[in-house]
Chains A and B, each alone.
Chain A
């Protein structure tokens, strides 16, 4: 195999926050019955964490599971291990109705870093989700949109957000985030 190439090759921009394409990231879409012990175990074995509750994301080290819908999760793991992760899940869940697909290359991942309030502002310019610190903190996952395209966002820490979008619109999302982070465009809504 050749070296995996991410959509934007690590492009970055610095404005009121810093925007960076995060490079290749392993991602597995897992669908199944949330209540099934086999599914929970299989997911835990691959991701190293328990499945999170509604709108949650559970992370440990370089792995995580994010809640995507009542019967869908996104498992994050190192890019090179995604194919193997899918195979492991399929073997573990053989005979159980489920879907496990490697979607690592179907997505782009961005890291947005900066002052906590600025970071929320930049995202709130584009996403119609409630990003107030009282209602959106670490451990929360939002499937939402950024302007005209679907996206998912979560906070790794108060000063670092992650944004996932489809690979084909990576360039659009990078430009969007950069425009939203333009110097002088601070809002001040989350500063209070």
Chain B
């Protein structure tokens, strides 16, 4: 049993008890605990089941590297799966449940997988679920999806009740990691005057040093930490931040840091997480090192833990993992654990040191405390199931013949330390294999570089491969100095503080214990605890030809769990190297990718949820539309009224009513969303001649012309009415979704190709509210408002005039997208609602109604007018749509002209626009294809056309449609077939696309 010791625990407040539950059981911890230390203190060693074999698992680490202790945290709207108990600070009322088992943690049916483990080797899925093929989709995949995964996603109806935010900041020097290295580096850079941000992922400063011992300038590490913090808190140019993890380092000094603002105190006002989006001139990675497990049989049994973690739990939290702890190691550091435990009065039956030569000063100290030290020995296997019961000792040099069994209830293992090089590596920093220390460390000659090729990341301390306190401080001081210089500060040369720790004997790499372990042992020697990858799996992958470390990783899933292989990667690639008979550096590492540990989706989304999920654009009349209960449809980021249904009316009925009213008398449309671009300058006419397919420079001031705009590839991209305002000035209307895009298109051509043309463009879309007054009574209502002459003579079709209506300054365009007598009236946006109200009032005698976008669509289709996005899809040229009349033959050039001369564009077999009338008056399905005789090379039915727009026309009382059809304009009267997805075949006659008022008499009155 793990238990709470009577004394100790440097991070605890023993006076304050904290209540929490685990799997519904009420437990008590202390203020300052992590969930992991509280569980261990309460005797709960086993916390979950493994991913594949459902083996019982306990904590193996004490920090961010923990692979096993993942829990469902919280309930209801605060439920979150896969939370690491080791990095979860305990709070009153915390509720956690264990994962990946059924029916219970203690008894799990899935554990049968373990009995069949020899039939579930690496690549099992790929080998087993291949045949019969149809089974994958309907049998295997659903089964695997059901059984895979650790925590459960929250129920779909739940909503996260916390808030999240981003924060943008710019700093000279960012120091990641608040251990002694980070503190010293920040201090040095701060003293030099650089603007420094120092972040630490845990709630505490100082990292491992206070636990590991040693002195700084003759005083305990704690004293150094306190002094450094005190000095930096007094510096205006230094910002300190705990619970803030460096998540990723990106190009140009961009760094993401993940601040867990209130995870330790849920419900506190303010955001739960804050994602810092940092721009840094220099980044110092003082991210420390992570201890490696040793690969021996049974190294995953609850009670086997990293030696450093055993020490952390004892020193920081006053928790012992067991009464009798065996220490297994290949280096001197683990001796610290044995000494610590012994000094706390706990039993250490033996230290098993794989090195024949044993350790240095720390080993002497252990022996002096009366601890038995065995050298040249290893663990053959750990005995026990849900808990360690003992270890079998063997010669490290042999195959695992048992020399002796020793009873114990905990095993503290250490395979050496790996620098945390993740953040160094994210943006391209290279690594070098340090043979003497058996570790990958940053290669100072190949750092991540910035825009000018300058290094922008500096590793410091153990993250840079310096494990002794003295070296750590010297290196960190140098890192702080280098960063300060790089940002132009002038650091004064001072001596780094002097750190002292006992002399240590060299590590001897041990990748397998014992070195010649036979297959039965290798099948129980875990590399990746979370994904259940063993030594034998990697060896199998190597035998099957997965020689690249990246391939072996994906084949075996080594390092692909939520801990991203923090414990397993180095051991795994050492085993792979051995299997391939090549040195470790030749195998190399897999790619380190951000984030360092998983960050919440909430933090990534930041403030963007609920009403600020995305910007919704509102016209000056939006309030009115909403008050009328309009049904909206998205058009870009606008929400435009689709129709204005009345009580008891369907949308279709509302649309029909709006059309009938508009065609019969008077309708109003909010056209404010239409793009409006002012193009002005001596070369404006020349410029528009290049942008539009037709001639704009010949347009007279006071007149309007419909124009088409094509891309360089000749495809139709936008259309709209251009009004000439003055000799040098035009106003170009674009489609609703096109304003920003066409503005950018114009600027691109002006800035890159025709930079010497004298043209300025301004997007004035939102300056104006624009109201279309449409219908046979349109003129009458404007005359009622009074203020300007809107007669046919004063303001003929396709003319515009400035004036005043009902006392409001306006510009009136006589243009029509409905085929009716129509005026579009533009006023300053702040006047739009006033004009709208006046139009409604004056229009009462004509039974005026607003109409929505669907009525607009139907009316334009009745007139055979095309709609960008319906008749066009990026592959359609104006010629396909019978718009040859709008393509100037006189102009030397326009954007798209050359492309439209290419052979495929002039192919007479291109589908062309026609009208389509169903034989029985029904409505064609949107997007339906017209079939032709025979099949194509793929055995699919040949096609000869497709529907681009289709509606029920209340004006004509039947279905009308437009479509692109092979040789369509030459086949008027032909009936073609459109099979629907409803099993019916729709028969339609090819007709002229103008269904209504073919001569345009109504709009020209």
Write the residues of chain A forming the contact surface with B, with a CB cutoff of 8 angstroms.
1-2, 4-7, 24, 29, 31-32, 71, 83, 97-99, 101-107, 121, 124-132, 134-135, 147-149, 166-172, 175-176, 179-180, 182-189, 192
Contacts and interface: CB of A to CB of B under 8 A. Distances in A.
B972 interface: no
Contact of B767 (A103, A124, A126, A149): A103
A169 B612 contact: no
Best-buried of A121, A132, A147 by chain B (most CB within 10 Å):
A147
A103 B764 contact: yes
Contacts of A106: 764-767, 829
Given A24-B830, A99-B680, A169 B617 contact: yes
A125 B830 contact: no
Given A6-B830, A97-B682, A148-B615, A179 B760 contact: no
Interface in B481-527: none
B167 A189 contact: yes
Contacts of B829: 105-106, 167
B166 interface: yes
Given A105-B766, A148-B614, A182 B831 contact: no
| Smallest CB-CB A-B distances: 4 pairs | A184-B269, A184-B270, A168-B617, A99-B760
A192 B241 CA distance: 12
Interface stretch (B231-239, B770-778, B887-895): B231-239
Contacts, number: 151
Contacts of B167: 121, 124-125, 187, 189
A179 B766 CA distance: 25
Contacts of B767: 101-106
Nearest to B617: A168
Contacts of A99: 678, 680-681, 760-762
B768 interface: yes
B168 interface: yes
Contact of B638 (A121, A167, A168): A168
Contacts of A31: 760, 762
14 contacts: A2-B808, A5-B833, A32-B760, A102-B767, A103-B764, A105-B828, A105-B829, A128-B277, A168-B618, A169-B616, A175-B611, A176-B612, A179-B163, A192-B235
A130 B168 CA distance: 8
A127 B760 CA distance: 28
Contacts of B442: none
Contacts of A97: 681-682, 758, 760
Nearest to A127: B168
B986 interface: no
A59 B257 CA distance: 38
Given A101-B678, A187-B274, A128 B168 contact: yes
B165 interface: yes
A172 B764 contact: no
A149 B831 contact: no
B615 A124 contact: no
Interface in B809-833: 809, 828-831, 833
Interface string B339-381: 0000000000000000000000000000000000000000000
B170 A130 contact: yes
A179 B749 CA distance: 39
A167 B270 contact: no
Contact of A175 (B163, B612, B761): B612
Nearest to B261: A185
Interface string B784-816: 000000000000000000000001110000000
A169 B829 CA distance: 13
Given A101-B767, A192-B236, A180 B165 contact: yes
Interface in B241-290: 268-271, 274, 277, 279
A83 B810 CA distance: 13
Contacts of B830: 4-6, 24, 104-105
B161 to A, nearest CB: 13
A103 B765 CA distance: 9
B268 A184 contact: yes
Given A125-B165, A147-B612, A176 B607 contact: yes
Nearest to B672: A168
Contact of B760 (A6, A98, A102, A167): A98
Contacts of B163: 179, 182, 185
Nearest to A9: B623
A166 B766 contact: yes
B607 A171 contact: no
B607 A130 contact: no
Best-buried of B170, B237, B277 by chain A (most CB within 10 Å):
B170
A83 B618 CA distance: 24
A124 B768 CA distance: 31
Contacts of B238: 192
Interface in B684-731: none
Given A99-B681, A185-B165, 16 more contacts: A6-B830, A24-B830, A29-B762, A31-B762, A103-B762, A106-B766, A124-B167, A130-B170, A149-B615, A166-B617, A171-B616, A179-B165, A182-B163, A185-B270, A188-B239, A192-B236
B210 interface: no
Interface string B607-627: 110011011111110000000
B169 interface: yes
B744 interface: no
B834 interface: yes
Nearest to A4: B830
A171 B762 CA distance: 23
B839 to A, nearest CB: 13
A144 to B, nearest CB: 10
B607 to A, nearest CB: 5
Contacts of B612: 147, 172, 175-176, 179
Nearest to B767: A106
Contacts of B758: 97
B831 A1 contact: yes
Contact of A4 (B169, B239, B768, B828): B828
A125 B166 contact: yes
Contacts of A107: 766
Contacts of B235: 192
A175 B807 CA distance: 34
Best-buried of B169, B238, B268 by chain A (most CB within 10 Å):
B169
Contacts of A168: 617-619, 638, 766
Nearest to A121: B167
A165 B207 CA distance: 46
A95 to B, nearest CB: 10
Contacts of B619: 168
Contacts of A128: 168, 277
Contact of A105 (B607, B615, B682, B768): B768
B771 to A, nearest CB: 14
Contacts of B607: 125-126, 147, 176, 179-180
